Amino acid sequence: MTEELRALAARLPAEVRFGASSWNYPGWRGLVYHREYEGRGAPARMLEEYAAFPLFRTVGIDSSFYAPPTDAVLGSYAENLPAGFPCVSKVWNQLTVHTFSKAQDKARAGKVNPDFLSPELFLEAVYEPYQRHFAGHAGPFVFEFQTIGRGSGMTAGRFAEMLDQFFGVLPREGMYAVEIRNEEFLTPMYFAVLREHGVAHVFNSWTRMPPIGDQLDLPGAVSGPFIVARALLQPGRTYDEAVDAFAPYDRIQDPSPPLRHDLLRLIETAVRTRIPAYLLVNNRAEGSAPLTVAGVLRMLPGAPA
């Protein structure tokens, strides 16, 4: 299989970087990993083999959603990645939670988060540490906004206005992307704000979002100077259902031709517009992220059958 994977990788356009939305999966042993990994520093050490896998040219750092990586963690990641290997990092959810739920914080359930879209907190806790310790690997920062309930009072217009204020004061050289879980926020104003600040809309496959292809068809959906996509779940399936069905993520269990076709369209869009694309695939999409990527690349013109 290794020779086939190298042949598939050779067909991948230079503009396109596929990767997984995370990487610490023992079930990938024999496919991505061929060494034993144990102990506290295992996730960082795994990155060396991850980056050597022929189909991976980027990786998602998901753990940063729950707390910003420490200086030591960023340093350990950098030590194990090859030069110029970019990472797509989720931004600490302290910046993207609007109103706390019981699951997020029982003590503050129902209260508005005072740090929602705080540029000062983002710069201090996220951006500046990355610049000091991870600048050579800092790709797009993904601001993931989980579903904001209607009871919060947040409207599509107000959300776009707050994004405008926030990105208006961030360093222009940063790479930023916004992922939303509220379909009603996909408005012309939302895309206009992103375009104004050079921010990418994240094309996401998620339980209650339109398919990636439907998002791509919206006017102005390619809003930034790069493309970001996260193929997380097939629409209609919950995260818990996918975990129960697909672990340990060592094989394809529910192939999705529509999802693969949408990812192929993003490749074609990147080539046509001549902008980079960071396309992340989750194990919970079909059962095994590396094999999903291989399946998409077999659809490329001239790819080995």
Q: Is residue 124 part of a domain?
A: yes
Q: Is residue 162 part of a domain?
A: yes
141-151: pLDDT as tens digits: 999 999 998 88
Q: Is residue 167 part of a domain?
A: yes
Q: Is residue 245 part of a domain?
A: yes
Enter the pTM of the model.
0.95
Domain around 238: 2-297
Q: Is residue 170 part of a domain?
A: yes
User: Domain with 19 in it: what CATH number?
Assistant: 3.20.20.410
Q: Is residue 304 part of a domain?
A: no
pLDDT of residue 305: 57
Q: Is residue 133 part of a domain?
A: yes
Q: Is residue 305 part of a domain?
A: no
Distance linking the first and last C-alpha atoms of the chain: 12
The CB density around residue 240, as the number of other CB atoms within 10 Å, is 9
Angle at 211 between CA 205 and CA 212, to 5 degrees: 70
Q: How many domains does the chain have?
A: 1
226-278: pLDDT as tens digits: 999 999 999 889 999 999 889 999 999 999 999 999 999 999 999 999 999 99
Q: 261: exposed, middle or buried (C-beta count within 10 Å: 0-12, 13-18, 19+)?
A: middle
CA of residue 179 relative to chain centroid, distance: 8
